[in-house]
Chain A
Amino acid sequence: MEGQGRETFALELDGIVKRYGNLIAVDGISLRIAKRQLYAVLGPNGAGKSTLISIAMGLVKADSGHVRLNGASEAAGLSQVGLCPQELVIWEGLTVWEQLLFMGSMHGVQRTIARRRADELLEALGLMDKKRVMASALSGGMKRRLNIMLALMHDPSVVILDEPHAGLDPQSRIWVRDFLKNLSADKTVIVTTHDMEETEKIADRAVIIDRGRVLAEDTPSNLIRSVYPAHLLELSLDGYGSQAEEITKLLAAGFPGLMQQGRMLRAESDNPLRLAGQIRERLTLAGIRDGNGEIRIRNANLEDVFIAMTGRGLRE
């Protein structure tokens, strides 16, 4: 991306710092997010994701650093940005249709265009039959979808969604996943989330943030490969009862790559089947019964990457 011109970036953050008293919420983050892609900002609660987005939107003032939206200053580019907050921000006393048109008018969209746009969004997010229903009467998942629609009424080129999957039922999750993927065909979609599974499915690129700093930034598959180029072998200690501690000591001595993470021993291996055989052999020699099924071989995922980077689970 080094060679790309400034006009190709939807959002540029340069050396952003934000402190709240002694707490450094954002610690010198610099990011360049290219246009027309789905970009995920990952991190656990309190990582600084929402603060970073608020700074990008001009809702919170950074202590230092610069923000550019579509190559322009933040204030000038703001009209091209749509924000879908994590909380449900809807007008309960208006119908779905009324508030879509209201939001369009607030952004200066002509009424005929706003009507067409509202119809498109209702169709795309499966709420056409709820058009005349009061927002207060919608289900939780429907309200979430309406929350997203309201951010899109003025047809922004950059859409920022804060935890769009939170509180969604499986049906709504699929709707939103497909919708966001389609949306990123001609818009820049920035999603903050700590849902790694969803990110792997839809994101073009992802950044992992923790304690206000960027830990890694790449495509999801590259992120995984950079940390876990091989397969993962996991041995669950749950089936061994009081022998768990003895097994941990025994295997740690024989297999230096095997790391304990909670009630799990985990190792990365190019040949996990051979490693599994060696572990079973060692356990048999030590007179420990091989707990059938306790050894599992799988591909690494983004959550593994995060754990490897920060040493703690994402949902702590």
Chain B
Amino acid sequence: MRFLVYTRKTLLETARDWKLLVFTLLFAPCFVFILYGAYGGGNPAFNIAVYNLDRQAGGSHGAGIVQALKEAAYSNGDPQFRIVLHESGSEADSLSLDSSIKKLEKRKLDAVLVLTGDTSKVIQTAAVCERAGVLQAPYHIYGDPLNGRYALAAIYAAAEVDRYVQKMTPIRLPLTLDEQFVGSGVSLSDFDQLMPGLLVLSLLNVLFTAGASFIKEIEKGTMLRLNLSLLRPREMIGGISLIQLLLGLASFALTLSAARICGFEWRGSVVAVLLVAAVSLLAVLGLALISVSFMSSVFDVMTVGMVPYFLVMFFAGLFFPLTAIELFSIGDSAFRLNDILPLSLSVSALNQALFFERGVYEIHMELLGNLIVACLYFGAGLWLFRRRHMTSR
């Protein structure tokens, strides 16, 4: 009974604290729209400057390669490259090349491709020669190895050049590539790949509202009245946790809806995704309890609370994978050092559920691991909070 009364009171207070409520519910969905604006919904198109120095420019193989690059597309028809073509005169002199290389440094370009003067000559020779490779001419690719997009741009461009050469000559490589996709087979955009992290971020934001709800009773001194009423810790923490759980799930649903509006598609199990979210929220609540055990005000939550927030955001791999140290494995499932952080396994589980159409059974090891981690955090948080803020009788 007292649990329900306390839960109702928490609901009223949470609903009336509209600033924090709006932050929790809308931060991640807004982030989705911002990222969609930044990345676009489609596949990444790489910015390439192509210097066609082929002496037979115009109708030559140099122009053919440029055309092939322009036509290169992903399976859904999105172009692979945005080409800036330099063909003749001052457009293609060494000063212009220097300028493009500077653009690589500033990441305004992902790669620079230079087709040399003998490009047509060697391809024509190879087309009529029985023995290939008698004549060779280089083509150059410039790029910044520190730019993650360069590697992909270079691979895609080189593959396109190879494809063109094999099409125009009898030259055949001894090994042929047969590419197979795992998962749904649908290519993923940069935006799509950020979605598991963004969804988990929507859950992580509950750290602040939950922390504020837990600490408010301490800061305002109302914990004294609750202690005197002999309210049990489980009734209070249970009441707050239930409201925060619902809040987190609402934020999660809004983030997913925002993503769908932006064209994100997934065919995975809804139950699996919701289970991952619920277990992840338990871990976030545990982390909030541990954090506020060492705090005394909402201000502390909003400032010092950034430490666990960013710690989890970066080291649990929400937005970029980190090198993992494997601790042990059970069957096919390996458990890594950063899996002891809450939400680390959530990202992995969501990846599988969203992109590989896995159901609850297929991700049960991640779910179980996540549940164990969440229970450990929640249990530790409960113990610490009781010890530091609630009078035990």
Q: Which residues of A contact B (CB under 8 A)?
A: 57-59, 75, 78-79, 81, 83, 85, 87-94, 98, 102-103, 105-108, 150, 154
Contact = CB atoms under 8 A, between A and B. Distances in A.
A91 B224 contact: no
Interface stretch (B1-9, B66-74, B80-88, B268-276): B1-9
Given A75-B393, A93-B17, A59 B220 contact: no
B224 A103 contact: no
B138 to A, nearest CB: 72
B222 interface: yes
Contact of B13 (A57, A83, A91): A91
B228 A102 contact: no
Given A58-B393, A94-B12, A106-B231, A89 B225 contact: yes
A91 B228 contact: no
Q: Is chain A's binding surface mostly helix, strand, loop or mixed?
A: loop
Nearest to A87: B221
A79 B9 contact: no
Nearest to B9: A102
A87 B223 CA distance: 13
Contacts of A106: 2, 5-6, 225-226, 229, 231
A108 B2 CA distance: 8
B16 A107 contact: no
Contacts of B2: 105-106, 108
A26 to B, nearest CB: 19
30 contacts: A57-B228, A58-B391, A59-B224, A59-B227, A78-B228, A79-B230, A83-B224, A85-B221, A85-B224, A89-B221, A89-B224, A89-B225, A90-B220, A91-B9, A91-B13, A91-B220, A92-B220, A93-B13, A94-B12, A94-B13, A103-B225, A105-B1, A105-B5, A106-B2, A106-B5, A106-B6, A106-B229, A108-B2, A150-B225, A154-B229
A205 B9 CA distance: 40
B222 A89 contact: yes
A94 B221 contact: no
A68 B64 CA distance: 99
A107 B17 CA distance: 26
A91 B224 CA distance: 12
A116 B154 CA distance: 79
Contacts of B1: 105
Which of B17, B221, B225 has the most A CB atoms < 10 Å from its CB?
B225
Nearest to B6: A106
A105 B393 CA distance: 20
Q: Is chain B's binding surface mostly helix, strand, loop or mixed?
A: helix
A59 B5 contact: no
A131 B240 CA distance: 26
Interface string B378-393: 0000000000000101
A74 B391 CA distance: 14
Contacts, number: 58
A288 B91 CA distance: 111
Across the A-B interface, the 3 shortest Cβ-Cβ residue pairs: A106-B229, A93-B13, A105-B5
A75 B229 CA distance: 12
Contacts of B12: 93-94, 98
Given A94-B13, A106-B2, A78 B222 contact: no
Contacts of A94: 9, 12-13
A164 to B, nearest CB: 16
A92 B298 CA distance: 14
B220 A103 contact: no
B14 to A, nearest CB: 9
Contacts of A81: 228
A183 B343 CA distance: 55
Contact of B222 (A59, A79, A90, A107): A90
Contact of B229 (A59, A93, A103): A103
Contacts of B224: 59, 83, 85, 89
A79 to B, nearest CB: 7
Nearest to B223: A89
Contacts of A59: 224, 227-228, 391
Contacts of B227: 59
A150 to B, nearest CB: 6
B228 A83 contact: yes
Nearest to A86: B221
Nearest to A107: B229
Interface string B246-289: 00000000000000000000000000000000000000000000
Contacts of B229: 103, 106-107, 154
Contacts of B17: 93
B369 to A, nearest CB: 38
B255 to A, nearest CB: 26
B115 to A, nearest CB: 69
A108 B230 CA distance: 10
Nearest to A105: B5
A103 B1 CA distance: 13
A83 B221 CA distance: 13
Contact of A102 (B5, B16, B220, B393): B5
Contacts of A78: 228, 230
Which of B16, B222, B227, B393 has the most A CB atoms < 10 Å from its CB?
B222
B18 to A, nearest CB: 11
A281 B230 CA distance: 69
Interface in B168-226: 220-222, 224-226
A98 B225 CA distance: 15
Contacts of B391: 58-59
Interface in B1-43: 1-2, 5-6, 9, 12-13, 16-17
A179 to B, nearest CB: 19
A102 B226 CA distance: 10
A78 B1 CA distance: 21
A75 B393 CA distance: 8
A79 B230 CA distance: 8
